[in-house]
């Protein structure tokens, strides 16, 4: 297992330092390295003889098919997406089946079902009457575009997974294998532990820091929640509040730069916007989200008389300084590489990985323990391999959908439907898109929901007057709301299970605390200056102050113990402050 992990990590890092590698070589090898971690070593692969045997068969078939593509990439590139001979047809079919089953074992049925329906539409959609049918595509061209060209499995999304997402996932795994996680907790406890509702605020800060590198709400809840949930319980927090705080704070990790749950890197590819521009644009909205959560915690702390963390339970200054270095050093290297010397994000992250790996050699006591170092390296390698493989399975399956949309023109037809259904007006288009994101986000992972939704709804929003980055950030945020919104709210389920509370009570509290998740993307539309920190910093900051004031009023009115009429006035006033554009009209 460790050897497989080493192979996967070395391959992806090697791509960064080796220069240009043909896409039809690097992307199939990426899939081949990911397959064993899902089909053979995955949790579901170890239950039942049939599952284990089929896992091995599918992995071997998939690896063989990937190697065929990689070793024949030059000849296949000259075929321009058309298959030649029965062997290539069988290989194409095998690749699609393996991708669908790998995704099913990794994340469940919904996304593979969507991809299967897309394939069926591509194969038989010519028999559908009316405007939603298509003219038909020859089987060799349809399968070839998806499997031997750069328009399906090996398209730009998979390229992002190979060259950028994998590197940042490895970076996060290296940090988490050492003392960085404890450093996050110590910094959070030192910064907010003494404040009213300090236990919850520690959870918010630590989850924001941890989420900035993990990008997974579920992983965030499991990691930081193991420490913060018992701590909040000991301080007398109601269980529903403690679990809601952790779920909401952890969900924010997927909108917090630099990782953004892999969304930032996909956005780079889909919008042709530099990565640094995207994380700068996303920074103020993410900050406002955590600010709204902070205000909500203050309101709950007043309502339930929740105190801060006792002095004896807060870390000493020496521990804070030492453990913070375990994440500050790699982060400084990352930021220096991206913003000072203008390296590509993946090259800067690779240097940060090397810095983080060096930090694994010592512990918080500044001592060297050879056995501990080996265990940390093993943990970093295996965690990185599992997470890279999980994301690869999602991206590859979503790429089938995107490929079919492109081949058949269905995306253009759905865009036309949205425009006609909204009368060409912006806000009805936004509401239809938000509903689609919520429904799809309930069934598939955030990144996949974002990719599919923005592929069909993004053009409609842009035609309605939005800037491309505005439209993409709007869709990305609304693809995330299902993490705390019933009936399927993954972060809430995990937090409620960890603390032993009814998930519905937790979800209701989480929705109140996380009100910013629903309002801020709409605020980005009403106040487009909010995402222009890089180009118009003064306007962006004024807009952030305006939206922040409105969020504070809205959050406090929603949660506080004041009488209902006062709360309603606060909430209405908050909405007015958010949606009345000030910055753009004053300057």
Mean local confidence (pLDDT), 326-352: 91
Q: Does residue 46 register a pLDDT over 70?
A: no
| Angle at CA of residue 272, ends 266 and 274, nearest 5° | 85
Mean local confidence (pLDDT), 355-378: 92
Other Cβ atoms less than 10 A from the Cβ of 365: the count is: 10
Residues 6+ apart with CB under 8 A from 7: 33
Residues 6+ apart with CB under 8 A from 246: 203, 207, 221, 224, 225, 228, 229, 491, 495, 498
pTM of the model: 0.84
Q: Are 580 and 572 in contact (CB under 8 A)?
A: no
**Token pair of 236 as six digits:** 């007398």
Mean local confidence (pLDDT), 269-276: 89
Mean local confidence (pLDDT), 63-84: 94
Other Cβ atoms less than 10 A from the Cβ of 111: the count is: 26
Identify how many contiguous H helices and E strands the chain contains and give both numbers: 28, 0
Candidate from 131-145, 426-440, 529-543 with smallest mean pLDDT: 426-440
Predicted confidence at residue 304, as pLDDT, reads 86
- How far is 419 from 397, CA to CA, in rounded Å? 28
**Token pair of 131 as six digits:** 């405007």
| 415 against 352, higher pLDDT | 352
Mean local confidence (pLDDT), 118-128: 93
385 band by pLDDT with thresholds 50, 70 and 90: very high
Other Cβ atoms less than 10 A from the Cβ of 374: the count is: 12
Candidate from 333-337, 367-371, 416-420 with smallest mean pLDDT: 416-420
Run of H or E residues at 78: none
Render pLDDT for 211-262 as a digit per residue (tens, 0 to 9): 766 656 777 787 778 778 887 888 888 999 999 999 998 888 888 887 776 7
Predicted confidence at residue 73, as pLDDT, reads 93
Candidate from 83-97, 450-464, 535-549, 564-578 with smallest mean pLDDT: 450-464
Mean local confidence (pLDDT), 491-509: 90
| 422 against 361, higher pLDDT | 361
**Averaged confidence pLDDT in the chain:** 89
From the number of C-beta atoms within 10 Å of its C-beta (0-12, 13-18, 19+), residue 274 rates as middle
Q: How far is CA 507 from CA 247, 291, 504, in A?
A: 9, 20, 5
**Token pair of 536 as six digits:** 């118009």
Render pLDDT for 165-188 as a digit per residue (tens, 0 to 9): 899 889 988 988 888 888 888 888
Predicted confidence at residue 322, as pLDDT, reads 92
CA atoms within 13 A on the CB side of 251: 35
3-state SS, one letter per residue, for 142-203: HHHHHHCCCCCCCCHHHHHHHHHHHHHHHHHHHHHHCCHHHHHHHHHHHHHCCCCCHHHHHH
Q: Are 244 and 492 in contact (CB under 8 A)?
A: yes
Q: Does residue 380 register a pLDDT over 80?
A: yes
583 band by pLDDT with thresholds 50, 70 and 90: low
Predicted confidence at residue 69, as pLDDT, reads 97
- Give the total residue count for the chain: 587
Predicted confidence at residue 364, as pLDDT, reads 84
| 447 against 374, higher pLDDT | 374
139 band by pLDDT with thresholds 50, 70 and 90: very high
Other Cβ atoms less than 10 A from the Cβ of 514: the count is: 29
Domain boundaries, the chain: 2-149
Render pLDDT for 299-333 as a digit per residue (tens, 0 to 9): 998 888 887 777 877 888 899 999 999 989 998 99
Nearest alpha carbon to residue 530 among 282, 260, 208: 282
Highest mean pLDDT among 107-111, 284-288, 488-492: 284-288
193 band by pLDDT with thresholds 50, 70 and 90: confident
Predicted confidence at residue 487, as pLDDT, reads 79
Nearest alpha carbon to residue 330 among 352, 360, 301, 358: 352
């Amino acid at each position: 297992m460790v050897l497989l992990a080493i192979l996967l990590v070395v391959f992806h890092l090697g791509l960064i330092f080796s220069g240009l590698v043909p896409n039809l070589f690097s992307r199939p090898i990426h899939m081949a390295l990911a397959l064993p971690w899902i089909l053979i070593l995955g949790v579901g692969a170890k239950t039942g003889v049939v599952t284990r045997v089929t896992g091995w068969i599918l992995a071997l078939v998939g690896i063989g098919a990937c190697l065929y593509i990689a070793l024949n990439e030059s000849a296949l590139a000259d075929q321009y997406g058309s298959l030649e001979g029965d062997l290539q047809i069988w290989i194409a079919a095998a690749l699609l089946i393996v991708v669908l089953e790998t995704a099913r074992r990794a994340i469940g049925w919904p996304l593979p079902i969507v991809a299967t329906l897309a394939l069926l539409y591509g194969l038989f959609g010519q028999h559908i009457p009316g405007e939603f049918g298509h003219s038909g595509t020859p089987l060799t061209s349809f399968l070839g575009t998806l499997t031997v060209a750069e328009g399906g499995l090996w398209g730009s999304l998979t390229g992002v997974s190979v060259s950028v997402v994998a590197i940042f996932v490895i970076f996060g795994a290296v940090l988490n294998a050492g003392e960085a996680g404890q450093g996050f907790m110590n910094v959070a406890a030192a910064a907010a532990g003494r404040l009213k509702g300090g236990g919850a605020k520690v959870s918010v800060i630590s989850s924001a820091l941890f989420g900035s590198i993990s990008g997974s709400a579920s992983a965030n809840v499991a990691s930081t929640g193991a420490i913060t949930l018992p701590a909040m319980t000991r301080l007398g927090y109601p269980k529903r509040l403690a679990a809601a705080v952790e779920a909401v704070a952890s969900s924010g990790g997927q909108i917090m730069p630099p990782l953004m749950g892999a969304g930032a890197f996909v956005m780079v590819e889909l919008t042709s916007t530099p990565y640094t521009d995207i994380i700068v644009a996303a920074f103020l909205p993410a900050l406002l989200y955590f600010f709204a959560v902070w205000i909500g915690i203050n309101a709950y702390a007043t309502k339930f008389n929740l105190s801060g963390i006792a002095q004896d339970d807060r870390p000493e200054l020496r521990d804070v300084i030492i453990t913070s270095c375990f994440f500050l050093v790699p982060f400084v290297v990352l930021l220096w590489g991206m913003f000072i010397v203008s390296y590509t994000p993946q090259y800067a992250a690779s240097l940060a990985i090397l810095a983080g790996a060096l930090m694994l050699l010592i512990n918080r006591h500044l001592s060297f323990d050879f056995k501990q170092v080996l265990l940390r390296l093993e943990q970093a390698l295996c965690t990185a391999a599992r997470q890279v493989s999980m994301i690869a399975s999602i991206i590859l399956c979503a790429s089938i959908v995107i490929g079919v949309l492109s081949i058949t023109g269905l995306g253009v037809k759905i865009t036309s439907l949205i425009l006609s259904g909204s009368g060409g007006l912006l806000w009805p288009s936004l509401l239809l898109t938000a509903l689609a994101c919520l429904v799809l986000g309930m069934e598939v992972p955030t990144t996949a929901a974002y990719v599919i939704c923005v592929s069909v709804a993004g053009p409609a929003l842009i035609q309605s007057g939005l800037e491309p980055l505005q439209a993409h950030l709007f869709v990305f945020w609304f693809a995330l709301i299902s993490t705390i919104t019933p009936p399927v709210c993954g972060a809430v389920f995990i937090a409620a299970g960890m603390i032993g509370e009814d998930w519905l009570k937790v979800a209701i509290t989480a929705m109140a605390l996380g009100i910013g998740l629903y309002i801020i993307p709409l605020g980005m539309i009403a106040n487009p200056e909010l995402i222009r920190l890089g180009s118009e910093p003064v306007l962006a900051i004024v807009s952030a102050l305006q939206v922040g004031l409105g969020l504070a009023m809205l959050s406090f009115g929603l949660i506080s113990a004041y009488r209902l009429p006062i709360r309603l006035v606060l909430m209405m006033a908050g909405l007015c402050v958010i949606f009345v554009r000030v910055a753009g009209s004053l300057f």
